[in-house]
Structure 1
Amino acid sequence: MTTMAQESPAVPATRGAAIRRHELAAFLRSRRERITPEQVGLPRGSRRRTPGLRREEVAHLSAVGVTWYTWLEQARDIQVSVQVLDALARTLMLDPSERVHLFQLAAATDPTPAASCPSLTPALREMLDRLEPVPACVQNSRYDILVYNRTYARLFGDLDAIPPEDRNCVFLVHTHPDWQAAIVHLDEVMRVMAARLRASMAGHLGEPAWKMLLKRLKSASPEFRENWDRYEVVGMRSRTKEFLNPYVGHLTVEHTDLWLGPQHGPRMLTYTPKNEETRERLEKLLEIARGDD
C-alpha cells in the first residue's frame, strides 16, 4: 500500500496576522526613533533619553490617543483606519517606499493618491512629453496629479519637490504658497475648485480616500471650509486661465480636459497658450525644466 506524503499545513490566518502586527510594531518604533524633535518643531529638552520621538509625541502629532498608539507599537490586535495610517506616515516622514510598506503591514489599501491607473500607459506618458512646451498632466476625479510633463512640473514652482501624496490640485491651491502665488484671481479659483470637488464627490460619498482629502482640506484651509459650506456645484468646462510663473512671468492659457475613460474617471489636462507671448514663455519654461533635469 502506497502512502502519500502529507503536506505541511498552511500558516493559520491568525498567525499570519500576528506576524504582521509585530512587524508593524517594530517598523513604527524604528521610524519613530530616527526622527529628532527638532525635525517636527519640538524642543529637545535636557532630560530626554529616548532616541528620536517619544510615543506620546507621535500620538499627539498624528492626532491619535497615546494609549492607542502604545498598543499599536505593542502589536496588540486593534483595527487601524487608513486615515490613521496616513497621519502616521506624515508624522514619521515616510518616503514613498516606506509608506507602501506601512500600508502592507497593516493589510490596508493606501487610498491617496491612486497608486495605479490603467490609463497611465507608456504611450500616454510619451504623449505628455510630446505635448511640450504645452503643460499637461493626468488627474483622477479626486484631482490627484498622477503623471505630468516637464513644463507642468514648473508651472507653479517645483512639483517634483512636493511629496507624491500631497500632489492634489485642490489641496495645493488651498495650502501651498508657491501655487497660491502663481494663480491669478486666487479667491475665484479656490471657490471654483471647492465647487468642482463637491460635484465630483457625489459619486464617491463614504469612500476613505475622499473622506480623508475632505478632512485634510477642512483642517488646513479656512478658505476651503467657507467655500465648502456654500454647497456650490460646478461641472467641468474649458476656460481661460492666467498664471504668474516664477520663472518666466505672466501666462495666459486655455484649460482643456480630455477624458481617458468614463467622464468621472481620469482625464488629461492641458494648458495651451492663448497668445504668442505665452507660447514663447512656455518654450523658455521648457528650456529651464530641461536644464534642471
Structure 2
Amino acid sequence: MDSGGWEARSPDRFRLGEGARWHEGRLYFVDLLQGGLYSTRPGCGPVDLRREAGLDVPLGAVAPVHGRPGAWIAAAGPGIALLRPGAQPHWIARPEDGAPRPMRMNDAVCDPAGRFWATSMAADAEPGAGSLYRVDRDGSVHRVLTGLTVPNGPVFDPAGTALFLADSARGLIVSHGVDPESGRLGPARPFVRLGQGEGKPDGMTVDDRGCLWVALWGAGRVHCYDPLGRLRAEVAAPTPNVSSVAFGGGLMHLTTAWHRLAEPDPWAGAVLDRPTEVTAPPAAPFRPSFP
C-alpha cells in the first residue's frame, strides 16, 4: 500500500495506539489496552522510542503536570491518577469503581486553564454508560456529563472557551461553550455528524487557527473542520484504524491500531508522521494547586 508520504516512527506496532500529545519536543502516546505510555523524538536519526510508564490497567490518555518534570496526570482504569518517575501511581479518584458494569477511562485532555477533562465508557461499550469528568486544580473531581457511549476528544479551542467532544459510536461531534473561570459547560450544540462510510470520530486536536482535526477510525482518514463545522481538508492514511492526531516539530503525527483488524496491514499499529505547515499548541498541562 502507498504510504502517501507517511513514515513510521519506529518498527513497533501497537495494539491500540491513542492519545498523541506533543510536549517539549517529543511525541507522547499510549498503547491503551496494554497500559503503556511511550514517547519518541521525530527527526533524530536512529529510532528513539521510550517507554515512560506502564500500568496494570488500561491507560486512556495523559497530560503533563506543570512544574513537575516527568509527571503526568492520567485517565486510567476506573479513574484519575498522577504518574511520577520512580513512584507508584497516586490515585486522585476512582469515580467508576463500583459501577453497575465494568468501566474504564478513555480519552482526556487539559484545558488552557489547567483543568483535566477525562471521559469514561463501559468495557463492552454499553450505550449511554459513559461520562465526562472535570478535575479541577484543587484535585476535586466532578462528573459533568452522562449518557455517553464511546466518548473521544475532548479538546478545546485555543482560548479555552469551547469544548469539542466526539461520541464515536454515534458518529457525532458536539461543541459546548465553556466558562474559562469556572469550567462550567454550556449546552451541547451539534458540530459535525459523520455519514455512513466516513468512519467514526476518534482522537482530535485543534490547530492554531482554531480548526478541528479529527482522526476517523475505520476510514483511514483525518478530517479538518473550520470553526463553523465546514470540512476544509481531508488527509488519507495508509491503514484504516486511525485513532489520534497531533502536530509538532513541523510534522503531523498519527497513532493507529491493529485492534479489531482481522488481517492487519503492515502499517496497522504504527505511529506515523509526515511534514506539514499546520501548527498547533503543545499539550496543555495540568496546573495543580495541591502539593
TM-score w.r.t. length of structure 2? 0.25
Report 1 or 2 for greater relative contact order, CA contacts < 8 Å, sequence distance ≥ 6.
2
Mark the structure with the bigger radius of gyration.
Answer: 1
TM-score w.r.t. length of structure 1? 0.25
The structure that is strand-richer by fraction is: 2
The structure that is helix-richer by fraction is: 1
